[in-house]
Amino acid sequence: MASTQGLKFLADQGVAVTLHPYDYDPNADAVGLAAAAALGLDPALTLKTLMVEVDGMPGCCVLPSDRQLSMKKVAAGFAAKAAAMMPPAKAEKLTGYRVGGISPFGQKRGVPTLFDAASMGAPKVWINAGQRGLLLGIAPTEALRILRARALTLTA
């Protein structure tokens, strides 16, 4: 199994995860939903990682693959005036990951991270491991702790 910066980061923190490879579809309209379908997972517990810019500063948002970010709620969550999606090329350069394989774990430059609260009560969620076609299973409480992240309502 491939090792990624995200998996190395989690191993260094002593966090045990499960790995879930799947056939990545580069033509999928929604990568997170395609991953959930490929693995037979609940899309509400299969989380996508989106990079944002809030008042010009980078941020990371992790949310269920079947939901959409509310930029108004993202801005409020980061105590900012405005939020927008980060351009893909900038997200790749900042994180060290390719779009479709961005993980909140082990990014080249750590940035403030928010999780949507909707799935935080589940015993386990699935998040990209830092490579297209590879998810990791983790307790959401562990993900929040390791990333020093907060859980808020980020979706409309």
Q: What type of residue sits at position 117?
A: A
Report the C-alpha gap between 47 and 120 in whole angstroms.
Answer: 11
How far, in Å, CA of 68 to CA of 20, rounded? 24
40 Cβ neighbours under 8 A, 6+ residues apart: none
The ranges assigned to domains in the chain are 5-152
pLDDT tens across 87-105, in order?
Answer: 999 999 999 999 999 999 9
For range 56-74, the mean pLDDT: 97
Q: CA-to-CA distance for 108 and 114, rounded, in angstroms? A: 17
**CATH classification of 5-152, choosing from 3.40.50.300, 1.10.760.10, 3.40.50.620, 3.90.960.10?**
3.90.960.10
Condensed to tens digits (0 to 9), the pLDDT of residues 10-44 reads 999 999 899 999 999 888 889 899 999 999 999 99
pLDDT in the model for residue 71: 97
What is the pLDDT confidence band of residue 2, given thresholds at 50, 70 and 90? low
Phi, psi for 62 (deg, rounded to 5): -120, 125
Give the integer Cα–Cα distance in Å for 149 and 127. 15
pTM metric for this prediction: 0.95
